[in-house]
């Protein structure tokens, strides 16, 4: 697998992940080519604030996508509050209000699993700190399709339930601290 082969980066996180995602977006190369999709657990009825907060730190444009929006390089797409986000075969985003999964909407598992299905070995999945098991099976799906998987080192997590759940299911390609995740992403094309 060549780093230049990645077509999508999907990052999932929950409790404690805002600071990690902020650090990643503040330190990533400004010309980062691969679309980044963020699926973070959020409050259902708070529709604003997260994009603005991430945008203040990010060197790349951060937005909440509309249904059927086409992915573009050098953009960060944040799953909207109370919507599942799926990646589609035609390179667009699909939003859904289906029932919660793993007590979550958006569900990290749904987003990661759709990335595995669409991008297969060209998907890069990253699972960060969090307080439940959402994301573990989605990461396993990416690994099963020969995609590349990174799990945040549980020792660096505010709450390590999410990464530990993934580590019980499969062996990721890398287990990294937030700083090492940034270093890895900056080895990718820009």
Among residues 17, 41, 58, 114, the one annotated as catalytic is 41
- Rounded to 10 deg, the angle between the 178-185 and 17-27 helix axes is 30
Is 171 considered catalytic here? no
Give burial (CB, 10 Å; 0-12/13-18/19+) of 57: middle
Alpha-carbon gap, residue 135 to 39, rounded angstroms: 9
Residue 14 is given by DSSP the state: -
Is 41 considered catalytic here? yes
Among residues 14, 17, 107, 113, the one annotated as catalytic is 14
Alpha-carbon gap, residue 96 to 27, rounded angstroms: 31
Among residues 17, 109, 134, 160, the one annotated as catalytic is 134
- Rounded to 10 deg, the angle between the 17-27 and 50-57 helix axes is 40
Is 55 considered catalytic here? no
Q: Which residues contact 48 (CB under 8 A, 6 or more apart)?
A: none
For the chain, strand residue ranges (E) read 8-13, 36-40, 61-63, 75-78, 84-87, 93-96, 123-127, 148-152, 174-176
Would you name the residues annotated as active-site residues? 14, 41, 134
């Amino acid at each position: 697998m060549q780093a230049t082969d990645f077509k999508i980066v999907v990052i999932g996180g929950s409790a404690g992940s805002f600071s990690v995602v902020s650090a990643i977006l503040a330190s990533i190369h400004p010309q980062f080519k691969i679309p980044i999709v963020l699926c973070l657990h959020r409050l259902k009825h708070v529709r604003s604030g997260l994009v603005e907060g991430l945008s203040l730190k990010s060197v790349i444009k951060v937005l909440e996508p509309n249904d059927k929006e086409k992915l573009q390089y050098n953009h960060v797409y944040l799953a909207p509050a109370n919507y599942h986000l799926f990646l589609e075969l035609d390179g667009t985003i699909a939003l859904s209000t289906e029932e919660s999964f793993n007590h979550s909407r958006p569900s990290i598992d749904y987003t990661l699993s759709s990335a595995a299905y669409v991008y297969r070995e060209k998907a890069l999945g990253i699972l960060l700190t969090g307080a439940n098991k959402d994301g573990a099976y989605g990461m396993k799906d990416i690994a099963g399709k020969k995609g590349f998987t990174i799990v945040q080192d549980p020792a660096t997590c505010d709450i390590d339930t999410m990464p530990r759940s993934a580590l019980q299911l499969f062996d990721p390609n890398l287990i990294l601290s937030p700083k090492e995740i940034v270093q890895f992403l900056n080895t990718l094309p820009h």
